[in-house]
């Protein structure tokens, strides 16, 4: 087997493994008990997407896909930062509501 | 000759990267709470995507492509811990408790 054939074969296997990883992460996004779990799984989904695009860049030897992967990483990082701010704000609002009413509204709903 | 060796190394790097990503996905599915899942996502997941970038840098015999691949790798390694720490801190301050299996929680003292 020549080097190029080995590269093509391993790229195909890597694509299959990455699709398996996509499925597992999507199960976590659907099941995820709380909001930060889902945010974390989305971040991981972006990371898996970057790996997928990189493998496709190698498989087609069209290296312009690399720029797409880098921009996707940038967008994913900014989305994580924004979601972290949102989780923080939402949590502190919820605590203020709890303190002012002295009851815990919808405790089974929030988790 | 050197191209053949580079292709073999690139293929092996691709396989290792994909395996890392699958392990991270299994960790995200199996670990008990957010703070342990974060280990799988931020360390193993970043390494999976990063090794794919390194594979591109090995396979492509082109200066700008190699440079961009390495810059992307460094960017991933720099941003993943920052994002994970931000999310963990926000979740902790928002009151999401770690699982019952966690024995040491030193941040709890800072919160009170």
CA dist B68 and B59 (Å) reads 13
- All residues of chain B having their beta carbon less than 8 Å from the beta carbon of residue A82 are none
Per DSSP, helices labelled H in chain B are 2-30, 34-39, 46-59, 63-93, 107-111
Spatial CB neighbours of B34, under 8 Å, sequence gap ≥ 6? A34, A36, A37, A40, B88, B91, B96, B98
Q: What share of chain A is helix, strand, coil (3-state, %, to 5)?
A: 85, 0, 15
Q: Report the phi/psi class of residue A102: left, alpha or beta, with left for phi > 0 and alpha for psi in -120 to 50.
A: left
CA dist A109 and B13 (Å) reads 44
Asked if pLDDT for residue B16 goes beyond 70, the answer is yes
Residue percentage of chain B with pLDDT more than 70? 96
How many domains in chain B? 1
B25–A20 C-beta distance less than 8 A: yes
Asked if pLDDT for residue B99 goes beyond 70, the answer is yes
Place of tokens 């991270």: B24
Chain B CA closest to residue A58: B56
Q: Quote the mean pLDDT of chain B.
A: 86
Token pair belonging to A9: 């074969």
Per-residue pLDDT band for A99 (boundaries 50, 70, 90) equals low
Structure confidence at residue B62 (pLDDT): 84
What are the two backbone dihedrals, phi and then psi, of residue A70, each rounded to the nearest 5 degrees?
Answer: -65, -40
**Tens-place pLDDT, residues A35-58:** 888 889 999 999 999 999 999 998
Domain boundary assignment for chain A: 3-102
Residue A58 has its nearest CB partner, among B41, B59, B96, at: B59
Spatial CB neighbours of B107, under 8 Å, sequence gap ≥ 6? B92
Structure confidence at residue A52 (pLDDT): 93
Q: Quote the mean pLDDT of chain A.
A: 83
Residue-range definition of the domain harbouring residue B96? 2-111
Structure confidence at residue B100 (pLDDT): 75
Residue-wise burial string across B13-45, b where 16 or more C-beta atoms lie within 10 A, e elsewhere: bbbbbbbbbbbbbbbbbebebbbbbbebbbbbb
Asked if pLDDT for residue B103 goes beyond 80, the answer is no
Q: Cα torsion at B91, B97, B98, B102 (round to 10°)?
A: 140
- All residues of chain B having their beta carbon less than 8 Å from the beta carbon of residue A55 are 14, 18, 52
**Tens-place pLDDT, residues B23-64:** 999 999 888 888 888 888 888 988 888 999 999 998 888 888
Asked if pLDDT for residue B112 goes beyond 70, the answer is no
pTM of the model: 0.85
Residue A34 has its nearest CB partner, among B25, B34, B83, at: B34
Q: Do the interacting molecules here have an ipTM over 0.95?
A: no
Which of the residue ranges A102-106, B24-28, B71-75, B98-102 would you say has the lowest mean pLDDT? A102-106
Structure confidence at residue A111 (pLDDT): 47
């Amino acid at each position: 087997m020549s080097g190029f054939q080995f590269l093509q074969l391993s790229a195909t296997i890597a694509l299959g493994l990455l699709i398996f990883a996509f499925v597992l992460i999507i199960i976590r996004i659907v099941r995820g008990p709380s909001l930060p779990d889902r945010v974390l799984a989305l971040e991981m989904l972006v990371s898996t997407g970057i790996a997928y695009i990189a493998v496709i860049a190698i498989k087609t030897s069209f290296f312009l896909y690399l720029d797409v992967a880098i921009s996707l990483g940038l967008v994913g990082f900014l989305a994580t930062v924004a979601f972290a701010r949102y989780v923080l704000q939402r949590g502190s609002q919820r605590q203020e509501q709890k303190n002012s009413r002295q009851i815990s509204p919808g405790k089974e709903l929030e988790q | 000759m050197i191209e053949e060796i580079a292709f073999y190394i690139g293929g092996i790097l691709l396989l290792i990267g994909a395996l890392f990503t699958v392990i991270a996905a299994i960790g995200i599915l199996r670990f008990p709470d957010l703070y342990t899942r974060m280990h799988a996502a931020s360390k193993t997941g970043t390494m999976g995507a990063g090794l794919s970038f390194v594979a591109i840098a090995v396979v492509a015999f082109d200066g700008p492509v190699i440079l961009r691949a390495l810059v992307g790798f460094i960017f991933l390694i720099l941003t993943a811990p920052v994002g994970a720490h931000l999310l963990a801190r926000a979740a902790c301050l928002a009151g999401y408790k770690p699982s019952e299996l966690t024995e040491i929680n030193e941040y709890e003292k800072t919160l009170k």
